[in-house]
Amino acid sequence: MYSKEYVIDQILSGKSKQIQLEKGTVYAPANIALCKYWGKRNRTLNLPMTSSLSIGLAQKGSHFAFEVLDEKLDRLMLNRTVVNDQDDFYQRLFSFINLFRTSSTPRLDININSTVPIAAGLASSASGFASVVKGLNALYGWQLNDSDLSILARLGSGSACRSLWSGFVEWQMGARDDGMDSLGLPLTCIWPQLRIGLLLASSEKKSISSRDAMALTKETSGFYALWPQQVSIDLTQIKKALVEKDFSTLGQTSERNALAMHATMLTATPSILYSTPQTTAWMQHVWQLRKDNVDVYFTQDAGPNLKLLFLEKDTENILQHFAEVEIIQPF
């Protein structure tokens, strides 16, 4: 079984372990999966059962600021609030950072500001860990390319491997046991007319993490055996739709893929249900709008919040029907 340390050693072979930059700030965008990642073939290395495809949210993500400390303990602030060293997030973050430093490496003062709610199904961990590896790259002066950073980000959070870039990114699942071929690949498609609408049903922490939910689903859902085949079909259709700028196919396939993922969760034991009555009401509203010839679709990650997919020409219509929507222009 390959370890995270093994992967890190492969990428950082010959690289300096001495700090080169006393302080700095980096940024990584959140991403919304249009073809979902759900389930791992290797939990230690966060290797997925399938490939996936996402769209970066550009101005929504994580700002990661670091400064070297002349103290014995690390410090962490998250959205301007001090995080205790016994907190789960603190321990997860510094367990990851400790993979890259020795006992003599100075402690760090880290300040993370996320423009998406934490642990609410809006890919905060993806942008968070992507920003961490970008910060470490600056701190140590490694000058790694984005492909290597993508692999390192995946070790912190699987979908973080897609948050090194804005725009469309495919996470290629890879086949190697060490995961060195499992990484994000930015696509060349640019779609200036595409819009993402964020509908926030709740900003509260999820009742079950994505990590635990996908493990439970894979282990107990009878529907999960069908999931890889569905992803293969959906991924092919979405990539074709991007090339042809076929919005209806993009929207239909993304929505179907999200519903299929949540169906596997509902059939887990015990069942996992992230949707709230508000989530369901928004879905029904989208379906009614399509009956009324409004070209709008939705996707939903592991949380109660919905993301609308529509084109620039329908912006006023969307605002009229979803007053609470926050509209993102990815390109």
pLDDT at 171: 98
**In a shared domain, residues 117 and 34:** yes
- Residue ending a domain, among 186, 204, 231, is 186
**In a shared domain, residues 241 and 316:** yes
DSSP characters over 185-253: EE-----TTEEEEEE-S--SPPSS-HHHHHHHHHHH-GGGGGHHHHHHHHHHHHHHHHHHT-HHHHHHH
| Domain span at 205 | 194-328
- Helices then strands (H, E): number in the chain? 9, 13
pLDDT tens by residue, the chain, 331 residues? 899 999 999 999 989 888 999 999 999 999 999 999 999 999 999 999 999 999 999 889 999 999 999 988 999 999 999 999 999 889 999 999 999 998 889 999 999 998 876 654 455 789 999 999 999 999 999 999 999 999 999 999 999 999 999 999 999 999 999 999 999 999 999 999 999 999 999 877 788 999 999 999 999 999 999 999 999 999 999 999 999 999 999 999 999 999 999 999 999 999 999 999 999 999 999 999 999 999 999 999 999 999 999 999 999 999 999 999 999 999 9
Cα 28 to Cα 47: distance, rounded to the nearest angstrom: 21
**In a shared domain, residues 127 and 220:** no
Q: Judging by DSSP bridges, how do beta strands 183-186 and 168-172 pair with one another?
A: antiparallel
Q: Judging by DSSP bridges, how do beta strands 183-186 and 326-328 pair with one another?
A: unpaired
Task: Classify residue 141 by its DSSP letter.
Answer: T
- Residue ending a domain, among 186, 219, 237, is 186
Number of structural domains the chain divides into: 2
| Most distant CA pair in the chain, distance | 64
Question: Of 186, 206, 189, 224, nearest to 50 (Cα)?
Answer: 224
Query: pTM of the prediction?
Result: 0.94
Contact partners, residue 18, CB within 8 Å, separation at least 6: 140
Cα 31 to Cα 275: distance, rounded to the nearest angstrom: 20
233-261: b or e for each residue (b if 16 or more CB lie within 10 Å)?
Answer: ebbebbbebbeeeebeebbbbbbbbbebb
**In a shared domain, residues 150 and 19:** yes
pLDDT at 1: 84
**In a shared domain, residues 100 and 223:** no
CATH no. for residue 314?
3.30.70.890
CATH no. for residue 36?
3.30.230.10
pLDDT at 120: 46
Task: Classify residue 323 by its DSSP letter.
Answer: T
